[in-house]
Every structure is written in C-alpha cells, then in structure tokens.
Amino acid sequence: MTFFRTDIAQKILGGCEYRPVERFEASASVNIALCKYWGKRDSQLNLPVNDSLSVALPGKGTRTRVTRLLGGTKDEVFLNERLTQETESFYRRVVDHLDLFRRDAGDYFRVDTVNSVATAAGLASSASGFAALTRAMAGVQGVSLDDDALSILARLGSGSACRSMYDGFVRWYKGGREDGMDSFAKPLRNVWRCLRLGVLTLNAAVKKTSSREGMAHTVETASLYNAWPLQAERDIVALEQAVTTQNFEQLGATAEHNAMAMHATMMASWPPLLYWVPESVAVMQKVWQLREDGVPVYFTMDAGPNVKLLFESRVEHVIRQVFSDVEVIQLFS
C-alpha cells in the first residue's frame, strides 16, 4: 500500500481538537549526525534505510513565528527577513508543510523564519527549520500532540528534522512499518559536559546538489552503497556505547569513520558526487596530523563542504590555536 504525507498527517491530526490562536513562535536547534542518515526506503515519507544518531548544537538553529493571515489569499514566507517567491523551492517546501496542518482551504499563514547558521550549506538548517515550523504550526492551530507525533510530522518536512525536536544526543529509529508511524526520534539522557564541537564554515554558499538530490543519486548509482546500512548498524551500537561510557576516542573514531564512509558512497556514484572543497581536505589533514602529535580530535562532515571538529575541553586551547576561525560550541551546559 502506498502512503502519502497527507495520509500520515491525517492519522496524527484527524482526531485532534483545534484551538487556533493568532500567532505562535517556536525554535529548534540544528543537529549534527555522528551516525549519518543517508538513503531512504520511502522518499515520500522520508523513511531512512538505517537508524542514525546526532547531537544538538545549543544556540544554533532556527526561530520561526507563524501568524494567521485573516482575509489572506495566499501564504507568505519570509526567510531571514526576505520575502520568498512562490517559484522558490524553499517557499514550496514550507507551504507543503503548512498544508499538513491546514484545516480549511481558506486558512493562510505568514511564516517568519530566521536561521542562525547558513541556509542549505550542509549545516543542517533544514532540520532545525522544519522542527521549528512543526512546533509553530501545532501551536498556532492549538493542537496537543505528544513528542513522537511531533517528531513524525517534522520528519515529513525534512528527515533529520525529527532529531531536531530534542536537545542533546538523539537517536532516530528507522522503523519497519510502511506508514512510518514507528519511525521517529528519541533523546538519549546522557550528559557529556566536557564534550565540544567546533564548526569550521569553509563555504556558506548554497550547495549545488541538495542533500535530498544527492541521497537519491547515491542510492541509485553507487555500488558501494550496499555496504552502507551494515556499517551504520555497527556504528550506532559503538556510538551509543561510547556515549554511555564517555569514551571519547571511540566516539570520535566511529563518527569520523562513519562520515568518511558516507562520502565514499557519494564519490562512488556516477557521475561522482563530491561536496568537499580544497579547504575541506586541508582541515582533514590538519586533524590527522594533530592526532599523530597526540592531540585527540576527530572530524565529521555532512552533505556539504563544512567540517565539524569533535574534541574535549582539555584540548580546546590547542584547537583554537590551530584553527583560528573555529567556532567552539559547548554541547552540554
């Protein structure tokens, strides 16, 4: 049986009592995957082929305000204070998400969304964006939903948005049902106060190939992809164990290996897909040299050129010396 996004929204929202308000504002943090989400078993519902595990970046993400447009004739979508046009993909994706919550055809909304990270540059802005939009739309429509339902609705907008519904470490369960009602994220309750993540924004431009397009291209054309789900299964076990025991070397090595394996599948696709820029490779080589010199630091990369460093507070001074433009984030306060 084929399920559509509207079918799932109806399952969740169909029995809800609506108590609409004039406006509602919500925020969500970006999340950086340590075990990546790469490949879908259902592209319509954003159902992944493997579980994934991420960590949220406090203070980095999206704030979204939704206002009801009384007497409006169409939705208005503002991104970082700029009115987007109906022909833009960002506008269409946002309006498609509004449709999931829209009760009557004459209901129109103004969406004001502000990202504190570069949009569509491989820094997970779509994850925080659709997580914030999901919370804001549930709020403006006045529907009461549990965390699992909100996570599923966010996933319909952007897969990894289901993880941005929470802070800290988060695991997204792939599920097995065709309707995806068992595919949602859950937080891990572990706190790692000395863990740091350094963001190196090497190129903030919008990437030529979106994550969605790159994922589909890799699955369709890369023979190496067949090995990916098995590695992801092994990696997520190792990562959860590392989080539980606070074994930094295990966490860092597994996350870096996982990222490199994901990018290897992209490069093995045809035509090859390469998100790196020369500066990305230079950062990798610096990280490897630091480890040879006895400094425990690892990196991870998503579908973009920008690099994220993983290290603990005791070596933060070294990281700042080597990478003068790094933005260091304390993941747990």
Q: What is the 3-state secondary structure (H, E, C) of 138-151?
A: HHHHCCCCCHHHHH
291 to 94, 211, 212, 279, 315: CA distances (angstroms): 43, 30, 33, 19, 12
Cβ-contact 302, 160 below 8 angstroms? no
Q: What angle do CA 7, 93, 258 make, to 5 degrees?
A: 90
| Topology of the domain comprising 5-187 | Ribosomal Protein S5; domain 2 (3.30.230)
In our burial notation (b when 16+ CB lie closer than 10 A, e otherwise), range 37-57 reads bbbbbeeebbbbbbbbbbbbb
Quote the CA–CA distance of 235 and 186 in Å, as a whole number: 18
Q: Is the dihedral of CA 268, 274, 277, 279 positive or negative?
A: negative
Residue ranges, comma separated, of all CATH 3.30.230.10 domains in the chain are 5-187
pLDDT by residue for the chain (333 residues), tens only, comes to: 899 999 999 999 998 999 999 999 999 999 999 999 999 999 999 999 999 999 999 999 999 999 999 888 999 999 999 999 999 999 999 999 999 999 988 899 999 999 987 655 455 689 999 999 999 999 999 999 999 999 999 999 999 999 999 999 999 999 999 999 999 999 999 999 999 999 999 988 888 898 889 999 999 999 999 999 999 999 999 999 999 999 999 999 999 999 999 999 999 999 999 999 999 999 999 999 999 999 999 999 999 999 999 999 999 999 999 999 999 999 998
50: nearest Cα among 254, 177, 236, 304: 236
Quote the CA–CA distance of 53 and 35 in Å, as a whole number: 5
Summarize pLDDT for 86-131 with one digit per residue, the tens: 999 999 999 999 999 999 888 999 999 999 876 554 556 899 999 9
Cβ-contact 125, 119 below 8 angstroms? yes
Which three-class secondary structure state does DSSP give residue 184?
coil
Cβ-contact 308, 327 below 8 angstroms? no
Long-range contacts formed by 263-268: CB under 8 A, 24+ apart: 263/301, 264/224, 265/38, 265/218, 265/222, 265/224, 265/225, 265/228, 266/214, 266/218, 266/222, 266/303, 268/222, 268/223, 268/224, 268/225
Multiple choice CATH, 195-330, 3.40.920.10, 3.30.70.890, 1.10.150.20, 3.90.1150.10: 3.30.70.890
98 to 24, 89, 140, 158, 213: CA distances (angstroms): 14, 14, 11, 13, 22
Cβ-contact 213, 259 below 8 angstroms? no
**Residue type (1 letter), 153:** L
312: nearest Cα among 295, 292, 294: 295
Q: Return all residues near 86 (Cβ < 8 A) that are at least 6 apart.
A: 74, 92
Residue written as token pair 């960590």: 55
Kindly report the pTM of this predicted structure.
0.94
Residue ranges, comma separated, of all CATH 3.30.70.890 domains in the chain are 195-330
